[in-house]
Structure 1
Amino acid sequence: MKKQRRVKKNVDFQKVFKKGKSFANRQFVVYCLSKEEQKQFRIGLSLNKKVGNAVQRNQVKRHIRQAFHELDHELVQEMDYVIIARKPAAAMDFFQTKKSLEHVLKIAKVLKRTSGANRSKHAKID
């Protein structure tokens, strides 16, 4: 994920926390803030030391970034997303992380499709 697509400044994080809406499941909390002037979404990541050591936290961050990269065309673009990973996220592999993020993003109504849409194309017909 390109650096210009990341929320980096504390001021930007605070805006998203104060003005945005939050949605959560057991592994992640996602804050969403609409930005009409923005053409592409930006993501910010926040992981507490409770998630694990530096290696585990960086692994979770890579999984989240890759999941957002793969969901790029299905997400509402004019938004800032701040993802807070909770402790159970450290024990998940990439596919579990992506599925969990899809779940939270569907709750937030920022994902344009359902996860079953692509799977039905490959369904075996007897």
Structure 2
Amino acid sequence: MSVEKAYRIKKNSDFQTIYKKGESVANRQFVVYTYNSNNEHFRLGISVSKKLGNAVTRNKIKRAIRENFKVHKQDIIARDIVVIARHPAKNMTTLEIQGSLEHVLKIAKVFNKKIK
């Protein structure tokens, strides 16, 4: 099961708005843009460039990111979030990706309570 449709950002115009007006934080593996939209829940956009590898590799990274958001669904405040994977992410396991993503999301302050 994946993140429901209502929780996804698909439109290029939405991505562009978030890039222009949102705030970004980053670690070595991910860049996270956040933008305060007036939704009742968060929306997630994922960007994994073709430079990171073939479709299998990119989809693996995207699945790990989605899984992390599914696990923390209740703890994420309502805003638009775009996650961009960087090159080091392609050699990481799902667990490493989740750890790194949690780290950068804490910096971005998208959790509504303290996550261990």
Matched residue, 2:39: 38
Instruction: Answer yes or no: is the 8 Å Cα contact 1:31–1:82 preserved in 2.
Output: yes
Deviation at 1:114, TM superposition (A): 3.2
Matched residue, 2:6: 4
Amino acid at match of 1:23: V
Matched residue, 1:80: 80
3-state SS of 2:104 partner: helix
Amino acid at match of 1:82: V
Max radius of gyration: which structure?
Answer: 1
Matched residue, 2:51: 50
Deviation at 1:18, TM superposition (A): 0.5
Measured against aligned partners, the alpha-carbon deviations of 1:20-75 in whole angstroms (never above 9, x if no partner) come to 0000000000000011x311111001111121111000010000000010011111
Where do 5+ consecutive residues of structure 2 fail to align? none
Deviation at 1:88, TM superposition (A): 1.0
Deviation at 1:95, TM superposition (A): 1.2
Amino acid at match of 1:16: I
**Within 1, Cα distance between the matches of 2:12 and 2:53?**
23
Q: Let me know the Cα RMSD of the aligned residues.
A: 0.9
Normalised by the size of structure 2, how large is the TM-score? Answer: 0.93
Runs of 4+ in structure 1 deviating by more than 6 angstroms, as ranges, are: none
Amino acid at match of 2:61: V
Find the partner of 1:19 among 16, 21, 25.
21
3-state SS of 2:40 partner: coil
Where do 5+ consecutive residues of structure 1 fail to align? 116-126
Normalised by the size of structure 1, how large is the TM-score? Answer: 0.86
Matched residue, 1:114: 115
**Within 1, Cα distance between the matches of 2:95 and 2:74?**
18
**Within 2, Cα distance between the matches of 1:3 and 1:75?**
17
